[in-house]
Amino acid sequence: MNLSQRPELVVKGNLVDAERVTPDGWLAIAGGKIIGSGSGQAPEAPQVIDAGGKWILPGVIDGQVHSGSQANQEGLGWASRAAAAGGITVMVDMPYDDPQPVACRALLEAKIAEVERDCHVDVALFGTLNATYGFDAAAGLIEGGVCAFKFSTFEATPGRFPRVDEDDLMHAFELIAPTGLACAVHNQMQELTRKNIQRMVEAGDTGWDAFMRAHTPLIENLATALIYEMGAESGARAHAVHVSTSRGFELYRMYRQAGYPVSIETCVQYLMLNHEQHTRQFGARTKHYPPIRPKAETELLWSHIAQGDCTFVSSDHVSWGLERKGDDNVFKNASGGPGLETLLPALWTGCEQHGIAPTTVAQLLCRNPARHFLLDDRKGGFDTGMDADFVVLRPERYRFDPANSLSAVKWSAFEGMEFSVRVEATYCRGQAVFAEGRILNSPGSGQFLRPRVANGAGQ
């Protein structure tokens, strides 16, 4: 045991990182950083957290959070409370805020100020480009510290969440490629979507199961292929978000094997929810884009998880109130739902059910998103010198009850689902953020995270 300095805090338990599980392991922490780790006899320290028999995981990085989609509703600060309760120490927040998206330096600076004033965990931020501020705004967003860019092939909300035409999307990819930042794209063919919905509405076909049938796999897969081909042509790091089909993963693998810097993400709801059971039970509460797929498709996604084909898994969290989810016409309801507190326990439970090692959870929720967003010099693992971000997971079988949520809303499509682990405590940079069901630090304790590469070669 050779530590560079005296530990201020030692954490003992079963360590889980992306490479290995270390039973009876320990972490030594000083100055908010990890200064050593090992197994067996731990060093002495003024403060010791004895989590014997429990899992110690690096703090989770949720790579797709929408905290500002509804003005004056949740916001970054409130979302960060739910994040801490879910073992998340880094939220990567999307740019599509209400009333206007983060598409210029001034809006980015205002959002950074919100992080530093209100947040309980650390936050990295996406930027986007739009017609209002133009392509020239890219330089200011990059200099300002965005960790990635987000675009859409579908207009979800006029102005706030616009469709980007293919020629403009290609130009954006070419602008961003030299920086090494990822270009993430919402993958949905607009014309096919709108034609299907119009035909079904005219026929009165708008019940609980209509949303999935309107949004066919082809609508998603064609857009995924378009994104990857633009990446291949431009040299940009092309990233398909919320992929819900096995074919999407096959397309990703094809481009990756050809040597292109592509990446892929799915969300935990596409792994743990299915159309036949959960959408039938909860209706529009399970309405996401893409739609929750049939169980046969979710099981195919698990095969890709087991094979190591997925870059990372996210929540796609947004706290719509139930007034946005109660219309009998499924197409009139908002897409999305709360997910910060269920991401980690749901994915851990699903991996257990499918015989997949706990290290895969650390890969998909910690190491890989840290690498993807160029935060891996500080986040995502237990290497010496990393930020002391960790979560204590207690093995426990319980049914999730959103009534106890720290989110802005008290409902969930995961209501009643049995999980096999519970988040007992969350620490960010060595400081307690959440334990025993409550937030322990003050607003503004979280930090804004800039990527390790703002200009120059990416990975």
3-state secondary structure 227-281: HHHHHHHHCCEEEECCCCCHHHHHHHHHHHHCCCCCEEEEEHHHHHCCHHHHHHH
Distance CA 173, CA 190 (A): 20
Whether 345 contacts 400, CB under 8 Å: yes
Report whether pLDDT(337) > 70: yes
From-to residues of CATH 3.20.20.140 in the chain: 59-373
Determine the pLDDT at residue 157. Answer: 87
pLDDT tens, residue by residue, 360-377 = 999 999 999 999 999 999
Determine the pLDDT at residue 2. Answer: 66
pLDDT tens, residue by residue, 6-17 = 999 999 999 999
Report whether pLDDT(382) > 50: yes
Distance CA 7, CA 220 (A): 50
The amino acid at residue 350 is G
Report whether pLDDT(454) > 60: no
Whether 332 contacts 401, CB under 8 Å: no
Q: Which two tokens stand for residue 67?
A: 């905290």
Determine the pLDDT at residue 1. Answer: 60
Residues 418-435 have a mean pLDDT of 98
pLDDT tens, residue by residue, 106-121 = 999 999 999 999 999 9
Q: Which two tokens stand for residue 1?
A: 């045991």
Phi/psi at 217 (5° precision): -55, -35
* Residues 6+ positions from 427 with CB-CB distance below 8 Å: 11, 59, 89, 388, 389, 390, 391, 433
Whether 144 contacts 95, CB under 8 Å: no
Determine the pLDDT at residue 394. Answer: 98
Q: How many percent of the chain have pLDDT more than 90?
A: 95
Does the domain spanning 9-56+385-439 belong to CATH 3.40.50.300?
Answer: no
Instruction: Identify the band that residue 158 occupies on the pLDDT scale cut at 50, 70 and 90.
Output: confident
Instruction: Identify the band that residue 455 occupies on the pLDDT scale cut at 50, 70 and 90.
Output: very low
pLDDT tens, residue by residue, 45-63 = 999 999 999 999 999 999 9
Residues 341-361 have a mean pLDDT of 98
Report whether pLDDT(332) > 60: yes
Instruction: Identify the band that residue 283 occupies on the pLDDT scale cut at 50, 70 and 90.
Output: very high
Whether 370 contacts 61, CB under 8 Å: yes
| Residue 143 Cα distances to 109, 156, 179, 181, 371, angstroms | 11, 28, 10, 12, 19
Residues 57-82 have a mean pLDDT of 96
| Cis peptide upstream of residue 95 (ω within 30 degrees of 0) | no
Instruction: Identify the band that residue 349 occupies on the pLDDT scale cut at 50, 70 and 90.
Output: very high
pTM: 0.97
Residues 125-144 have a mean pLDDT of 97
From-to residues of CATH 2.30.40.10 in the chain: 9-56+385-439
* Residues 6+ positions from 182 with CB-CB distance below 8 Å: 148, 149, 237, 238, 239, 263, 372, 373, 458
pLDDT tens, residue by residue, 217-237 = 999 999 999 999 999 999 999
Distance CA 416, CA 425 (A): 22
Instruction: Note the CATH architecture for domain 59-373.
Output: Alpha-Beta Barrel (3.20)
